[in-house]
Amino acid sequence: MSSHNDQLFKRAQVHIPGGVNSPVRAFRAVGGSPRFFTRGAGPRAWDADGQEYIDYVCSWGPLLHGHAHPAIIEAVCAVAAKGLSFGAPTELEIELAEQVCALVPSIEQVRLTCSGTEATMSAIRLARGFTGRTNIVKFDGCYHGHGDSLLVKAGSGALTFGQPDSGGVPADLAAHTLVLEYNQLDTLEALFARVGHEIAAVIVEPVAGNMNMVLPNPEFLRRLRELTTQHGALLIFDEVMTGFRVALGGAQSLYGIRPDLTTLGKVMGGGMPLAAFGGRRDIMQYLAPVGPVYQAGTLSGNPVAVTAGLVNLKLSMQAGLYQRLGEMTHAITEGIASIGRHHGIPLVACSLGGMFGLHFQEVLPTNLKEVMRSDTERFKTFFHGMLKAGVYWAPSAFEAGFVSSVHGSTELDQTLSAAETVLSHMR
């Protein structure tokens, strides 16, 4: 007899392309039916068959304090009762803008959007408008949402499905996106020496999280800052994934780099559709209504989403939170990797704050080419074994994982014991 998940997946495919509203969710990279979730609480979530999972996807990052945190739910319900949307300003947006600027000092002004994609595509338009230049630089395997200019050699779902260059993106437009290898200095230097004066912006995930997780070489980030400054190009840090997740001040606070523009999302919205882009005041002043670069949104700054974000950030400011989160994430991921190696399976892990990568190979990759050496067949076996044991992992070898502040020692023990069972049978 097929499960409720199977039945729902079959039904979903009739009226929704692929049965999902975002491709990676379809489980195509791992096979089987996606889990249709019915509820979540803290570090756990339950599917349509009533199966319980420890959740390491955390809605792909936003749930820094787990599912349905009581403080967030209470605040969201209270504000929702007063009206869902006005299409006009509210005081809540000012509070969130003040909070974001205080926590991320490179952001002097900020504009709220509904998704990370909107934030990155708006940041690119703003950079082009500000500099009067057209070309942008991105890195192979970095994903910056699905805006046309950015779906070139993209990571995440585009990579999972082997289509890093999407159909429907005009070749003329893609030609203005120059792609380099992540963490590689010589090609970066050479490109800037050749056409630095034509580059509007370099956009980068300061910690890559859409080709699994890849740590930056600090020198790579430092040189990016120097070269962009020297050539009058803008440096955009895409911190949609890393913002308020690897540290309260984002990856830029850990690596000591001040980008010109930053994009944020995920944790900033606490699970609601909310994102932002912001940065230097002189650049942000190019935005309409004060400047010539247009950008808008009916639901931008939505009061319910902003409230969820405000409470999520407030919870994130508890003393010692990122220290504890980092230790827990490290214990879980290093624990799994060492179990793998103990059983003769090449497995390495990296983590920062509540974000992690697990690669089925001997050494930590530093760019996409190296990421591609991972054993995706082993990942599939691991994924399904863990799923069966009640541990929910991202259904792709090319996604990062996430731990919340409410994952505790019970989740650690249960996860490691599941990993022992799964990995010991995988040789």
In the complex, which residue's CB is closest to ligand HOZ? 22
Stretch of residues binding ligand HOZ (CB under 6 A), selected from 21-29, 98-106, 295-303, 405-413 = 21-29
CB of 60 to ligand HOZ, least distance (A): 4
Member of 399, 402, 404, 411 binding ligand HOZ (CB under 6 A): 399
Q: Taking the mean position of all CA atoms in its chain, how far away is CA 296?
A: 23
Dist CA 276 CA 295 (whole Å): 12
- Expressed in percent and rounded to 5, the helix, strand and coil fractions of the chain are 45, 15, 40
Residue placing its CB nearer to ligand HOZ in the complex, 24 or 325? 24
CA dihedral 234, 235, 241, 242 (to 10 degrees): -140
Token digits for 99? 């909070």
CB of 57 to ligand HOZ, least distance (A): 8
Stretch of residues binding ligand HOZ (CB under 6 A), selected from 20-28, 252-260, 342-350, 376-384 = 20-28
Sign of the CA dihedral running 167, 168, 170, 174 = negative
Residue type, 130: F
Q: Which of 19, 20, 56, 31 is nearest to 376 (CA)?
A: 31
The verdict on 351 binding ligand HOZ (CB under 6 A) reads: no
In Å, what is the CA distance from 37 to each residue of 167, 272, 386? 31, 16, 17
By annotation, the residues acting in catalysis are 143, 238, 266
How many amino acids of this chain bind ligand HOZ (CB under 6 A)?
8
Instruction: Give me the 103-142 binding string for ligand HOZ, x by CB under 6 A, dash otherwise.
Output: ----------------------------------------
Residue placing its CB nearer to ligand HOZ in the complex, 109 or 210? 210
For the segment 154-213, give every residue that binds ligand HOZ (CB under 6 A): 156-157, 210
Residue type, 333: T
Residue placing its CB nearer to ligand HOZ in the complex, 192 or 393? 393
For the segment 40-79, give every residue that binds ligand HOZ (CB under 6 A): 60
CB of 195 to ligand HOZ, least distance (A): 30
Spell out a b/e string for 247-282, using b for 16 or more CB atoms within 10 Å of the CB, else e. bbbbbbbbbebbbbbbbbbbbbbbbbbbbbbbbbee
Residues that bind ligand HOZ (CB under 6 A): 22, 24-25, 60, 156-157, 210, 399
